[in-house]
Amino acid sequence: MTSRALPLPAPPLLKRFAPLAVGLGLAALALALPAGWREFPAAWNLGLRAPIDQLQSTIVANRETIPLFQYFFDPLSAFIDWGLRLAENLLLALPWPAALAFSTITGYLLGGPALAALSLIGPVIMGLFGLWEPSLQTLALMIVAVVLSVAIGLPLGVLSASSDRVDRVVRPILDGMQTMPTFVYLIPVVVFFGIARVPAVVATLVYAVPPMIRLTNLGLRQVSPPAIEAARAFGATRWQLLFQVQLPLALPAIMAGVNQTIMMALSMVVIAALIGAGGLGRQVLVSLQRLQVGQALEAGLAIVLLAIVLDRWSEGLSRLDFSDTAREPVKALAPRWVPARWESAWLTAALALRRLAAGPAHILGTLLGGRDLRRFAGVLNLALVVAALLLLDLLVHFGTFPSAWRWYWREPTDALVRWMRDNLFEIPVGGLLIGTGPVSDFIVIYMLNPLRTLFTEVLPWPVTVLGAAALGAWAGGWRLSAFAGLGVFAVGLLGMWPFAMDTLSQILVTMFFTVLAAVPLGIWSSQNDTVREVLRPILDFLQTIPSFVFLVPVIMLFNIGRVPGLIAAVLYAIAPGIKLTDLGIRAVAGEAVEAARAFGSTRGQMLAKVQVPMALPSILLGINQMIMMVLAMVVIAGMVGGAGLGLEAVNGLARSETGRGVEAGLAIVLLAVIMDRITQAWAARSQ
């Protein structure tokens, strides 16, 4: 081991006042620079727009003759389209009672009566809203995207688990992919696939595949070395090792990957609608654009239901255990809510039901020569019921969900929205006006606008660039400093300076509110188990909702503009902040807490002097996650009046000005990566 001389500590005075000095220097520079330096010089624009548009139109014009398209993208496209049509046709051909039966029984098999109920109610509500077909279209898109994600992610995961070199190449790519807001994925996809259903699948797929790769890799790498060694010692081949030992042992992690992939795919639903996906996403998008908030709410609710059901299903799938046939649970007790005098009747009925359920498996097993098929009883019953309903369909012809059964929420919702706008907009309390209007105005007038003015009109651009560099230097050293400074400068070169500064001001104000809410709530939840129990399901729920759907209820209250995006972003991003703060504080080692207690600390002293400082890395990690989510949401909110980079990108996509979209997309990526690196370095520094 070589021992290196420790770096001499910087003189404390200099160290403490360095940030102040840099700040003063920047302020002085801001005052000294003439007014002409406020705007980023337009002449420096790299002018990417024209060549990209050129490329795009060349591609469109010569699709048939470019080999890359002829032999790769087009066949791929055709294949995906075929899969999508197949899935859609199969799902839409399913008579609705069969679909409901399938969903309910699957729910029961994967998670018992509660999940069965959820799996029944979810689709029924979609039907009642008149969203049966869009829901199935979305489901088809999910199925295709997830199947492809698994088909691509699993082998890649296996590959990167088996070779450190592959892992070293793949990992930074995945890291990069996960830093980017969903939105950015659309842009390159549009260049290569155009706008239609297939590119929507591709964008979803690209977004959803990283967790599959990551978790397969992780799961395989975590398989206990003794088991692998034992298999090798008995002469297992690589394939035997993989299929008999590694994959089975990594299965829980792989299933967690599938679960995450499904959730990521769902969170793309609305955004993918921007480039041509149909289904529920399109319903939300179109309704919002037409300001039909009620309809948007219905479709948004349908997406949330779909997300919850699929989440619970895939979670159940990972817990599924086909192995335990030896011990059947023989419960001689009825549930608590069954009155004692009904208990024996309950048990008899339960037993009879169980016999009935085991019947088909028993019969089939006997027919197949006495095999024990009990563990497949559930799947078998599912197949039987669905088959029976399909047969019945030949006679009765159920068709699609009956149009006579409707239960729209749109009118009451729209009425509610109107009522809220009329009555909650301004509420005089004493001499003060509160309500959505004043709150919204306050945020815009006193926070968003001044900050935007500061960035776009007061600060000369070199000061902003140097400021970013200084922040980078403070958090992570000269490399990060150079990266941050050059990155911000590049945003200017892209010609996106004013839009980026607008977005940045929104992000900063949103982060202010998010941190203000998340950190105290996290601390409270770490100190109080009741608070934690109450918060947990809410946070879990918030985390299953796709980002775009957050906008719907907020727009109900606040109309469109920058404020609803801000509030939606706070709601969207708050969960990881609370969870990580709570976790960090609770994880503070018992010994340290005990020692602090032994010295007679009060609870407040303990929090302030021991727990929060020790939990700081975890809290900062939460802030890192929150900032990335806020960025994603602020970009999305650009579509509903938030303006900034998001609007630029959407406009680029929507008006097929691809060059503009690419410029905005690159600026978004730069902002995302810079903020990610700085907050991560900050978290690492505080460890």
Partner 1 sequence: MTVVPATEQRPTKIACRDVWKVFGRQPERVVERITPDQTSAQVLEQTGHVVAVRGVSFEVQPGETFVVMGLSGSGKSTLIRCMCRLTDPTRGEILVDGQDVLKLAEPALREVRRRKISMVFQNFGLFPHRRVIENVAYGLEVRGAPRAERLARAQQMIELVGLAGWEQHFPKQLSGGMQQRVGLARALAVDPEVILFDEPFSALDPLIRREMQDELLRLQADMHKTSVFITHDFAEALKLGDHIAIMRNGQFVQVGTPEELVLNPANDYVAAFTKDAPRAKVVSAAAVMLPCPPGFDPAGQPAARADAKLEDCLPMIAAHDGPVCVRDEAGALLGVLDRLSVMKALIV
CB of 680 to partner 1, least distance (A): 30
| Cα-to-chain-centroid distance, residue 380 | 35
Measured from the CB atom, the residue of 233 and 395 that comes closer to partner 1 is: 233
304-343 residues near partner 1, rule: CB under 8 A: 323, 326
Indicate the residue type of 287. Answer: S
Asked if residues 259 and 311 have their Cβ atoms less than 8 Å apart, the reply is yes
* Stretch near partner 1 under the rule CB under 8 A, chosen from 163-171, 230-238, 455-463, 654-662: 230-238
Measured from the CB atom, the residue of 322 and 337 that comes closer to partner 1 is: 322
Measured from the CB atom, the residue of 223 and 389 that comes closer to partner 1 is: 223
Told to check if 370 binds partner 1 by CB under 8 A, we report no
| Phi, then psi, of 409 in degrees rounded to 5 | -105, 0
- Which residue among 154, 231, 385, 669 contacts partner 1 (CB under 8 A)? 231
* Stretch near partner 1 under the rule CB under 8 A, chosen from 84-92, 243-251, 264-272, 661-669: 243-251
Asked if residues 132 and 126 have their Cβ atoms less than 8 Å apart, the reply is yes
* Stretch near partner 1 under the rule CB under 8 A, chosen from 45-53, 234-242, 261-269, 391-399: 234-242
CB of 243 to partner 1, least distance (A): 11
* Stretch near partner 1 under the rule CB under 8 A, chosen from 205-213, 241-249, 458-466, 473-481: 241-249
Q: Which helix (H) or strand (E) holds 582?
A: helix 562-587
* Stretch near partner 1 under the rule CB under 8 A, chosen from 165-173, 235-243, 283-291, 653-661: 235-243
Q: In whole angstroms, give the CA distance from residue 443 to residue 563.
A: 7
* Stretch near partner 1 under the rule CB under 8 A, chosen from 229-237, 420-428, 627-635, 667-675: 229-237
Q: In whole angstroms, give the CA distance from residue 680 to residue 222.
A: 25
CB of 111 to partner 1, least distance (A): 22
Size of residue set near partner 1 by CB under 8 A? 21
CB-based burial of residue 329 (10 Å sphere; 0-12 exposed, 13-18 middle, 19+ buried)?
Answer: exposed
Asked if residues 597 and 606 have their Cβ atoms less than 8 Å apart, the reply is yes
Told to check if 248 binds partner 1 by CB under 8 A, we report yes
Q: In whole angstroms, give the CA distance from residue 144 to residue 198.
A: 10
Report, in angstroms and rounded to the nearest whole number, the Rg of the chain calculated over CA atoms.
29
Q: In whole angstroms, give the CA distance from residue 323 to residue 261.
A: 26
Q: In whole angstroms, give the CA distance from residue 569 to residue 630.
A: 5
Told to check if 222 binds partner 1 by CB under 8 A, we report no
- Which residue among 7, 9, 113, 235 contacts partner 1 (CB under 8 A)? 235
Name which of 571, 586, 680 is nearest 629 in CA terms.
571
Measured from the CB atom, the residue of 230 and 608 that comes closer to partner 1 is: 230
Told to check if 236 binds partner 1 by CB under 8 A, we report yes
CB of 211 to partner 1, least distance (A): 23
Q: In whole angstroms, give the CA distance from residue 447 to residue 509.
A: 7
Told to check if 254 binds partner 1 by CB under 8 A, we report no
* Stretch near partner 1 under the rule CB under 8 A, chosen from 242-250, 306-314, 355-363, 548-556: 242-250
358: which 2 tokens? 């085991």
Name which of 76, 86, 73 is nearest 151 in CA terms.
76
SS3 427: strand
- Which residue among 144, 245, 305, 443 contacts partner 1 (CB under 8 A)? 245
CB of 237 to partner 1, least distance (A): 7
CB-based burial of residue 97 (10 Å sphere; 0-12 exposed, 13-18 middle, 19+ buried)?
Answer: middle
- Which residue among 224, 403, 453, 602 contacts partner 1 (CB under 8 A)? 224
Measured from the CB atom, the residue of 60 and 251 that comes closer to partner 1 is: 251
* Stretch near partner 1 under the rule CB under 8 A, chosen from 164-172, 227-235, 365-373, 549-557: 227-235
Indicate the residue type of 146. Answer: V
Name which of 174, 184, 193, 186 is nearest 84 in CA terms.
193
3-class DSSP string for 307-373: HHHHHHHHHHHHHCCCCCCCCCCCCCCCCCCCCHHHHHHHHHHHHHHHHHHHHHHHHHHHHCCCCCC
Measured from the CB atom, the residue of 324 and 422 that comes closer to partner 1 is: 324
CB of 232 to partner 1, least distance (A): 6
* DSSP code at position 535: H
CB of 239 to partner 1, least distance (A): 11
- Which residue among 58, 89, 163, 237 contacts partner 1 (CB under 8 A)? 237
Residues forming contacts to partner 1 in the complex (CB under 8 A) are 1, 224, 226-227, 229-237, 240, 244-245, 248-249, 251, 323, 326
